[in-house]
Amino acid sequence: MLTDEPGQDAYKASNPGISAASPRRTGGDLVQLISPEGERISHPEFDLWVSDVTDEQLCSLYEDMVVIRRIDAEATALQRQGELALWPPLLGQEASQIGSGRALRDDDFVFPSYRDNGVAYCRGVEPTDLVRAWRGNASSGWDPYRHNIATQQIIIGSQSLHATGYAMGIQHDGADSVAVALFGDGATSEGDVNEAMVFAASFQVPVVFICQNNHWAISEPVRIQSHIQIADRASGFGIPSMRVDGNDVLAVLAVTRIALDRARKGGGPTFIEAVTYRMGPHTTADDPTRYRDANELEDWAAKDPIARLKALLRTKGLLTEEVEAKTQAKADEVARSLRSGVINMPDPAPLDLFKHVYSTPNSWIERQKDHYSRYLESFSGSTRKVHSDEQVDFRPRHQRRPAQVPRKRSQSCPHG
């Protein structure tokens, strides 16, 4: 498993001025270790942070990206077929999510946006659990404390506040884990993200802000909301930042490791701008052809994160037929599991609405539950109590299937 641990000693030995205690430069050049053509680019400042990555782990990163792209495609198809209410595709952002997700330690805590399914996959969340909320079967698909990743946030940018607050708790406890907030470029224009950076800088808490700049805030291009590099916004709060090629999984892994190491050593927050591209729609309710030039999409498709790592693996002689077959088999199996899990997912019972609202008994919730239970009973025409696991037919009485009542046996007919 890849974390931020390897490479630190060698890096600090050769770069004594760049450490957890000293702020890094702000913004700067785009960090890139794999070119769009799949060539390995040497970068002394960052190479040591990925020097431990073996050939086997490179193949594992490739498999991760192929699998989450397949999950994304399957979920999109399920939505088009009416099995999901909505889905936010991540097509094109696989490297940003896998590179950052695989840098984390188990005790780090992630606060994702609604699009960060790749990071959730890295944290061990089951594919079916990724879509429970999008099917309308649950308020959340997984237990945050089991996987150390919060539920996906729909409200733009608010997870940055949650991450900063959690990081303040880490600091108070004296632990060396890190809180990580992921959000898109549009979120940087929200007050929540700016407030989070104020607190993070003021208290120098162990939090990493990862902005996946996919160039579109729904239908607004990034150039409208930011006339400078997004990474440079962080300097106004006194937070060091880095810009990385978000389609380069190795470079994303390297800069995330640096930011995590800095936070663990008491160096405070770091802002990472991962420059990538949203090749699909904002959600399945969006039509990007109405606002996006097809030529732009074609240009970015040439920088596809999976294609470039695939090219590197071929150059190194690592992408054998066996590796390719194993990767595709894994993607196929995950897709089958996701589809089966969605189609066979049981509907929640009506009173499940009141579960997990509070961690302890709450009289206000119990009173609402009782009122709603009696409301449901009014449809059944009886005074019996509705149980939390019981399905209730809400159709008007004239549309319901009549109850099967045994006929009385006729006295004139011996056979009834």
Q: Is the pLDDT of residue 358 over 60?
A: yes
* Mean pLDDT of the region 43-59: 96
Over residues 118-149, the pLDDT tens digits come to 999 999 999 999 999 999 998 888 999 999 99
Confidence grade of residue 380 (pLDDT, cut at 50, 70, 90): confident
SS (H, E, C) 295-333: HHHHHHHCCCHHHHHHHHHHHCCCCCHHHHHHHHHHHHH
The one catalytic residue in 80, 146, 172, 291 is 291
Least Cα distance to 114 among 136, 146, 140 occurs for 140
278 belongs to the catalytic site: yes
Least Cα distance to 339 among 32, 90, 80, 54 occurs for 80
What residues form DSSP beta bridges with 244? Answer: 31, 274
Confidence grade of residue 408 (pLDDT, cut at 50, 70, 90): very low
282 belongs to the catalytic site: yes
Q: Is the pLDDT of residue 391 over 70?
A: no
- Tell me what percent of the residues of the chain surpass a pLDDT of 70: 85
Note the pLDDT of residue 357. 87
Q: Is the pLDDT of residue 349 over 50?
A: yes
Note the pLDDT of residue 381. 61
**Are 348 and 389 spatial neighbours (Cβ–Cβ below 8 Å)?**
no
Look up residue 21 and give its two tokens.
């205690």
Q: Is the pLDDT of residue 10 over 70?
A: no
Note the pLDDT of residue 231. 96
The one catalytic residue in 215, 278, 308, 339 is 278
Note the pLDDT of residue 416. 40
* Mean pLDDT of the region 12-36: 60
Note the pLDDT of residue 270. 98
Distance of alpha carbon 332 from alpha carbon 290, whole angstroms: 33
**Are 109 and 168 spatial neighbours (Cβ–Cβ below 8 Å)?**
no
> Across the chain, what does the average pLDDT equal?
89
What residues form DSSP beta bridges with 217? Answer: 220
Note the pLDDT of residue 384. 52
The one catalytic residue in 70, 115, 257, 282 is 282
Note the pLDDT of residue 353. 87
Over residues 252-311, the pLDDT tens digits come to 999 999 999 999 999 999 999 999 999 999 999 999 999 999 999 999 999 999 999 999
Note the pLDDT of residue 11. 42
* Mean pLDDT of the region 172-192: 97
Note the pLDDT of residue 16. 33
Confidence grade of residue 406 (pLDDT, cut at 50, 70, 90): very low
215 belongs to the catalytic site: no
The residue with greater pLDDT, 193 or 394, is 193
**Residue 41 carries which DSSP code?**
P
* Mean pLDDT of the region 89-105: 98
Distance of alpha carbon 27 from alpha carbon 84, whole angstroms: 39
Range with the poorest average pLDDT among 94-98, 124-128, 398-402:
398-402
Q: How far apart are the first and last CA of the chain?
A: 72
